[in-house]
Amino acid sequence: MSSFSGIWVPLVTPFHQGEIDFAALKSLCARFLKRGVDGVVVCGTTGEAPMLTKEEQLQVLDAVLEIVPGQQVIMGLSGTHMPVIRAMQDAILERPVAGLLIPAPYYIRPSQAALVTWFTEIADHSTVPVVVYNIPYRTGVHMELETLRQLAKHPQITAVKDCGGSIDLTLSLIADGELDVLCGEDVQIFSTLSLGGAGAIAASSHIFTEEFVALINQFKKQDIVAARKIFFGLLPMIRLMFSAPNPAAIKYALSLDGLMDNELRSPMLPAPENVEHAIRDFLNQRSR
């Protein structure tokens, strides 16, 4: 079974005057590899994938693959129309990726049986592992434990990005040991790792990336005290990064270092002034 673990950065998509800034994107990828991340996720929520055309999504993936080895790249794939999903899946699988990150069909709120059928059809058609993205506050549907257990029997479904909001669900999945449990709620990274989770897909790891990598390394050494110290040092920043709709705060923080423009696509807006002010103050204090 393929294994996903450690810190994976769900990449923002840089824009410049409305167009994708591929130079900034590649620079970010090189930066994260240098800092030791285990991989990157392309065209997830943080990457504003719904605001990209399918062609743009593939262009972003191709640009990332120029910098990041395929075994360190997971590609997001979402939608509600299976023929469109399958066509995009075929296009993605022409590229060397490590896996696909797939949420439940959003808005329509399918039954648990329908979710099993949906994910099974995608996994049957996949030549790479599938990471199930359980994020009910975005999709409108909770993936129940028994549903995830049933999906875990599929040989291509190997991991879950856990944003389910249920500690009982997280505990049960970790205890089962059938899926790699990747924390998707950044404030819960320490608790998930402490319980035996495999790692995290952490949007806030765009900032102070090396400290997130150090956090994972302390868990590998079983030094819980050192890991706790790193996490609580990161926690104020993590909270700031989600004090505006993601990825507005992250893009602003990156723009302060000149890594990209502070630009998002509609309907997303830049972070409000009070959030920008708080981010500047925090980063200035950390740099002293």
- Show binding-site residues: 46, 201
Q: What ranges make up the beta strands (E) of 85-184?
A: 99-103, 130-134, 157-162, 180-183
Of the candidates 11, 127, 129, the residue with the CA atom closest to the CA atom of residue 65: 11
What's the angle, vertex CA 43, arms to CA 235 and CA 220, rounded to 5? 45
- Residue 37 is encoded by which pair of tokens? 């991340």
Residue 127 half-sphere exposure toward CB, CA atoms < 13 A: 9
Active site residues: 133, 161
Q: Which helix (H) or strand (E) holds 20?
A: strand 19-20
Question: 29: burial class by Cβ within 10 Å (0-12, 13-18, 19+)?
Answer: buried
What's the angle, vertex CA 32, arms to CA 268 and CA 132, rounded to 5? 60
Place of tokens 């706790």: 228
For residue 247, give the DSSP letter. Answer: T
Using DSSP, state whether 171 is helix, strand or coil. Answer: helix
Q: Radius of gyration over alpha carbons of the chain, in Å?
A: 18
Binding-site annotation, residues for pyruvate: 46, 201
Residue 118 half-sphere exposure toward CB, CA atoms < 13 A: 25
